[in-house]
Structure 1
């Protein structure tokens, strides 16, 4: 199976490098992406929004001859879901890595814009549940590789139009929110979780990690993604 790997904010294709071997060992072909405008100054990225990131994934799907799996980490989950909405008939499964499908009009988050781009805010900007499993060496290595993202991307609303997306099988690999809490959200179905509540085929798998398993336990993450496809 062709697996398209979408990084979260500030990350590029290389941050999947240690996840890919487990996927390939399971017989899959991995296609990690770097999203448009990542690491680019404002003069080259100011007009890039979430729709452009979705379009980049859709183009990758269209290059593949058969059905694909789309994996989105963190804010990359919004991109994955946008691609699922655009190509519901081509996606065998969506895997969310410590994130969930947004509803129509949802956005990633608001972060400070500096010099026309959104830089990595530093590990102190995140809760301990998100970063507590990252030791100092891992944090330093990851921080040395993060890149800015276009200013519009984190706050752009995601446009979703095809209800066919609800029928796509979805796996949520969750590290920071227990499955029981997710099930409570699904039962309550607040507007921001409308798509989560509408999923017809959802599997929730708890990871023993924080928000960045591609750094803290990449091989385990690769095996968990592969297991979701069995």
Structure 2
């Protein structure tokens, strides 16, 4: 088994995050610094920052193998698992198991974010080609015009070496709009608005795929229901 897959299946982090940790020299196998792409034998001992990472014990039949939660992230919480970062999301939630966020919301944004101990689903949910919808309510600093809405919906705005895809946009008030994205570029909505001369004053994520934020108040979290998980992971064996 590849080392990054081992860390993911152990619930420590996603495969992408595992490769980063390995590249930084923070992962050892049998006490020796590991390399990216390393393969493990059955008896190999893995540690991150000197702490042993044990393999996950398979769950009992009909029970979940992993943790899946929905969290209402308040403004000011940072979506990182780095313990030294003040206000990090893991510390804010205080879950008894090791979990990490699926994607991110920037520190100045609020709303729904999912967290899990199952690193193998992260890329599946985030990849734009899978058309996983994310819905946001946005407040800006001036009147929302039809021209602005058409421009936002059309796509083709350059950022981070890519261009935005067409998306759904609708007006919800004089200075507010709803937008549904299937991309997750860094600060995408803020940069899209900036392109048209607007400044985001409030950004709230209300839905990810089939999972609404519902009645969660800022700082509250709940477990995902079986119906919500089926929308994310139709194959129950992955739960």
Fold equivalence (TM over 0.5): no
Q: Which has the larger radius of gyration?
A: 2
Where is the helix percentage greater, Structure 1 or Structure 2?
1
For CA contacts below 8 A with separation 6 or more, give which structure has more relative contact order.
1
> TM-score, normalising length from structure 2?
0.22
> TM-score, normalising length from structure 1?
0.23
